[in-house]
Amino acid sequence: MHDHAAEASLFKRRAIFTFVCVVILLGILLGNLYQLQILSFKDYQIRSNDNRIRVVPVAPSRGLIYDRHGQLLAENQPFYSLELIPEKVKDISAALDELSKVIDISTDEREKLLESLKYHRRFKPITIKNRLSETQVAEFSVNQHRFPGFSIDAGLKRYYPHAGLLTHVLGYVGRINNRDQLALQANGEWPNYAATKDIGKQGIEKFYESLLHGKPGHLEEEVNNRGRTIRTLKSVAPEPGQDIYLTLDLQLQKKAMELLAGRRGSIVAIDPRDGGILAMVSSPTYDPNQFVHGISSKAYSELLNSRSRPLINRATQGQYAPASTVKPHIALLGLDDKVVTPKTRVWDPGFWQIPGVERKYRDWKRWGHGWVDVNGAIVHSCDTYFYDLAYKTGIDKISNFMTQFGFGERTGVDIFEESAGNMPSRDWKRLRYNQPWYIGDTISVGIGQGYWTTTPLQLANATAILANKGERFVPHLLKTIKNDTVQVNSPIDKMPPVVIKDPKNWDIINEAMKDTAHKSRFIDAGYNAAMKTGTAQVFSVAEDEKYDADTIDEHLRDNALIVAYAPYEAPTIVLAVVLENAGWGGVNAGPVARALLDEYILRDNWEPK
């Protein structure tokens, strides 16, 4: 028999339990609804808007670069690409066949497109061909009605109208790579490059990237759940990069490149009144425009492996023995340290010997100069005089004194590609070679040879300090920054001067450099100039051997150097010229310096800038 009372009690307990569970679940559901609809309403509303509103960054236009007279050096030119919206084309392969009759589409471009379409949203445009010529754009425009879904997209790309003339100063822009992205992320700048494909890679373009790049704008677009744009809700225009004006004189730059005529070497011209660089040429050079759109592996390999090393900025990275161009600095040290006086004379029989040592250090003039004082030693570039002076002065004083003129240190010029050169010392040799310093090392340094190396920019800067009688400026390329409303001059970075014991010694050295110019090719210049030539050995000649350029390889021949400034009374330009393996400095580099000074000082409409 069934116990109806027990069954009724069990059913009642189960019904109550079920009811309680239902009430609890309904409570949880209502609680969640309250949480979602009331407490978290604003949060989910924002998330919903984020899902349907897409922010599209808009790249800014890059700032332009001008020379000191407003001549355009780097601009932005329009470029055109052919694009396709896949969903608007029924048969893409057939359409490409037909399109090839209007615009040449290579097999690689076709295959790349078809492969990319596998992973591409059909309502978004995809690029078929970059860098269309104006003729191709015109031909497509006439036939565009035949190709629904195809269109021309325009953009801006950097362009250097003077090609290789300014490559080593301006540098170039190129596509942002992983290394660039990591650097931008580390500096917190990556959000500003969301719409930008290119970035400064070298030179001014890299150093002043923050000024030239500008600030991106953005579009706020309403999209559906598949990402298709429905409408544009808001547009914020980008801020273009700032235009910058450099201290360069384009006309002088052209003249310098013309004078080098493709030879390996460098020319640097500085305004000694403020350190502004008037010209900076490195030869051979290359066209930076090929890097803007992406240089081919073959073309880059040719540049990289060329024996002429066109990728090196010889003006700031080339390291050369300064040779006789630094004899005025050595003489100034001798006078200042009272090792010699203006009347001190040294006998030059064509050689010099360390006391008690048989080896002879030869003068360039094998029969010697006879009795020579400091003026004659500079004018005639008497090696024997400076062998003796270096021996009496010592490397410690030479090294410390020359460091004040910037030797062995980066000048601080506003491009990143710069070498420090080498001003040798006892400590340097010990660290570099684990060897002691010998007297013979000092003798070589006394004529600007041995371990001493300098860049053309350092050489020009050190000569400017001589011309300024100790006043020093940091060499710079930036003159003015300009945007839509304001033009700001770059501050001049003046350094503590080189102080010597007797200021009259400046005049003695500069007078000797003026006499050197008169002795050479500057006597009929129409202005007074000062100069010092140099011939730097690339390899050492044995004591009893004679240097013969005709019997040695071209790349082992002497380098020709010259430093010069003018007008002598109030200098406005300082030059340093280095011609690799050209031979005698006065004969080969001298005419180059003379032509450049004439170009700058005697030009028809010349006025000091």
Q: Domain of 240: which CATH number?
A: 3.90.1310.10
Give me the number of domains the chain comprises: 2
Residue 538 confidence (pLDDT) above 70: no
DSSP alpha helix (H) spans, 423-541: 426-433, 439-445, 456-467, 504-519
Mean pLDDT of the chain: 85
Using alpha carbons, select from 249, 251, 247 the residue that is nearest to residue 259: 251
Q: Is 348 annotated as a binding residue?
A: yes
Average pLDDT over residues 414-431: 94
Q: Is 369 annotated as a binding residue?
A: yes
Q: Is 396 annotated as a binding residue?
A: no
Residues 241 and 352 in one domain: no
Among 222, 246, 270, the domain-final residue is 246
Of the given ranges (201-215, 455-469, 473-487), which has the lowest mean pLDDT? 473-487
Among 214, 246, 278, the domain-final residue is 246
Residues 242 and 280 in one domain: no
Catalytic residue of the set 324, 425, 444, 490: 324
Write phi, then psi, for 132 (nearest 5 degrees). -70, 140
Chain segment 177-208, per-residue pLDDT in tens: 889 889 888 888 888 888 888 899 999 999 99
Residue 78 confidence (pLDDT) above 60: yes
Give the integer Cα–Cα distance in Å for 579 and 592: 10
Residues 533 and 445 in one domain: yes
Residues 163 and 264 in one domain: no
pLDDT-derived band at 19, boundaries 50, 70, 90: confident
Check: CB of residue 277 under 8 Å from CB of residue 413.
yes
Of the given ranges (15-19, 285-289, 450-454), which has the lowest mean pLDDT? 15-19
pLDDT recorded at residue 609: 42
Residues 478 and 540 in one domain: yes
Residues 322 and 208 in one domain: no
Using alpha carbons, select from 260, 88, 267 the residue that is nearest to residue 169: 267
Give the integer Cα–Cα distance in Å for 110 and 133: 19
Neighbours of 495 (CB within 10 A): 14
Residues 272 and 239 in one domain: no
Residues 256 and 222 in one domain: no
Residue 515 confidence (pLDDT) above 90: yes
Average pLDDT over residues 559-563: 92
Q: Is residue 20 part of a domain?
A: no
Q: Is residue 597 part of a domain?
A: yes
- Give how far Cα 271 sits from Cα of 106, 218, 255, Å: 52, 44, 17
Give the integer Cα–Cα distance in Å for 390 and 401: 12
Residues 106 and 167 in one domain: yes
Give the integer Cα–Cα distance in Å for 294 and 297: 9
Q: Look at residue 442 and give its three-state secondary structure.
A: helix
pLDDT recorded at residue 46: 54
Check: CB of residue 294 under 8 Å from CB of residue 350.
no
Residues 215 and 255 in one domain: no
pLDDT recorded at residue 543: 47
Give the integer Cα–Cα distance in Å for 585 and 561: 5
Pairing mode, strands 150-159 and 72-84: antiparallel
Q: Give kind and range of the element (H or E) at residue 346.
A: strand 346-348
Neighbours of 520 (CB within 10 A): 21
Residue 58 confidence (pLDDT) above 80: no
Among 217, 246, 275, the domain-final residue is 246
Give the integer Cα–Cα distance in Å for 201 and 74: 14
Give the integer Cα–Cα distance in Å for 242 and 74: 13
Q: Is residue 438 part of a domain?
A: yes
Q: Is residue 36 part of a domain?
A: no
Using alpha carbons, select from 482, 477, 411 the residue that is nearest to residue 207: 477
pLDDT-derived band at 606, boundaries 50, 70, 90: very low
Check: CB of residue 121 under 8 Å from CB of residue 225.
no
Q: Is residue 24 part of a domain?
A: no
pLDDT recorded at residue 533: 92
Chain segment 81-103, per-residue pLDDT in tens: 877 777 777 777 777 777 778 78
Q: Is 21 annotated as a binding residue?
A: no
Residues 321 and 425 in one domain: yes
Q: Is residue 348 part of a domain?
A: yes
Domain that holds residue 340: 250-601
Residue 108 confidence (pLDDT) above 80: no
Token look-up 């019997």 returns 551
Q: Please report the beta strands in 176-294, taking only residues with DSSP state E, as ranges in sequence order.
A: 198-200, 217-223, 229-236, 243-246, 265-270, 277-283
Residues 404 and 281 in one domain: yes
Q: Is 9 noted as a catalytic residue in this protein?
A: no
Residue 422: CATH number of its domain: 3.40.710.10
Average pLDDT over residues 46-57: 63
Chain segment 214-271, per-residue pLDDT in tens: 888 877 667 665 556 667 667 778 888 899 999 999 999 999 999 998 899 999 999 9
